[in-house]
Structure 1
């Protein structure tokens, strides 16, 4: 049987139990893992998870500019999110950070409120979807935000039938963890909160 190259992800048949997942914060020391995940075939290098980040301009921003913006945040020590690792390979991402590090996420947002962290994005490679990785990432993101001092976690998921914003997660996944809805952001995104 041919050996799998060290750069490839485990296939569905080889996936180990979710209990073997390890979660790490994206920081200067783990930046290469973040880059490798985003630059892998099928990875989200088209956005570098900057859709909700503060950028100088949103007009005609190229991929390399988005990457530079995200790398600058990491270099400055700004929290940006967590990675999931399985058997030494990076297999997922969740953008979880203080809400003020993002641009305005809903019209009802009260910018004077402190201690709010936002979850705005999930990425799991296509070969690993449907096995609970996004739910495991959500659990780890909740733990991470509260460990870092969040009083409230806010998220903006959609219904499973939504044609867009699916990268923000599905509403039912958040409801199952005790999030309650406080309103809508646009016509598709539910604003949901979890307090400590």
Structure 2
């Protein structure tokens, strides 16, 4: 599945996203995920482990450690998220997985009778600069919700911020989730809004 190291996002001019497809990251997609996260500007310092580290993982955790931890999760079959593809190349990322696979302080309410593993958390996005402003995030949300539903989720939860927020911007902005049908149910910390979409 490996191709050239340069993502199409770095060479495309703004255009339609027709042909965009989405696939969950599993062992067959690891090389794509690795290559995408190692392109210039991608969050290879994090490897989308910011909300996943716990215990000893959270102490002195280097980029290489985070990559190894993510790879271990993928190898073990733990859901971690989806990649968006154009022309067969990965061009966007969305972290979507059962809430118990993240740290407890991610946020979200405890609801009587609700099975925690059926609540899936949409925790972050990464879209290269060349493809921003073209409606990629709403498409990622739609694909993430479909992926969660397919795997038994009854709720998708997100933790976006206001547009002027100085931090957590990688978690998305409130209006795009409102437009996707999510409803605010509370706050997580001082900046993050907890928003939910029922799939029942």
TM-score normalised by structure 2 residue count: 0.89
Greater displacement, 59-68 / 77-86: 59-68
TM-score normalised by structure 1 residue count: 0.91
User: Are residue 85 (structure 1) and residue 85 (structure 2) matched?
Assistant: yes
Give CA deviations for 1:59-109 in whole Å, capped at 9, x if unaligned: 221000000000000000000000000011110000000111001112744
Question: Which residue of 1 is the match for residue 139 of structure 2?
Answer: 136
**Could you tell me which of 165, 184, 187 is aligned with 2:190?**
187
Question: Which residue of 1 is the match for residue 68 of structure 2?
Answer: 68
User: Are residue 35 (structure 1) and residue 34 (structure 2) matched?
Assistant: yes
Residue 179 of structure 1: how far off its partner (Å):
0.5
Structure 2 CA distance for aligned equivalents of residues 111 and 125 of structure 1: 40
Q: Secondary structure at the match of 1:181?
A: strand
Residue 133 of structure 1: how far off its partner (Å):
1.1
Question: Which residue of 2 is the match for residue 178 of structure 1?
Answer: 181
What is the count of residue pairs matched by the alignment? 192
Superposition RMSD in Å: 1.9
User: Are residue 113 (structure 1) and residue 99 (structure 2) matched?
Assistant: no
Give CA deviations for 1:132-175 in whole Å, capped at 9, x if unaligned: 11111111101111111100011000011111000001110110
Question: Which residue of 2 is the match for residue 165 of structure 1?
Answer: 168
Structure 2 CA distance for aligned equivalents of residues 111 and 153 of structure 1: 16
Q: What is the 5 A alignment of 1:86-105?
A: 86-104=86-104, 105=106
Structure 1 CA distance for aligned equivalents of residues 7 and 184 of structure 2: 39
User: Are residue 149 (structure 1) and residue 152 (structure 2) matched?
Assistant: yes
Change (3 A) 1:187 1:64: same
Q: Secondary structure at the match of 2:18?
A: helix
Change (3 A) 1:6 1:28: closer
User: Are residue 124 (structure 1) and residue 127 (structure 2) matched?
Assistant: yes
Structure 1 CA distance for aligned equivalents of residues 136 and 186 of structure 2: 27
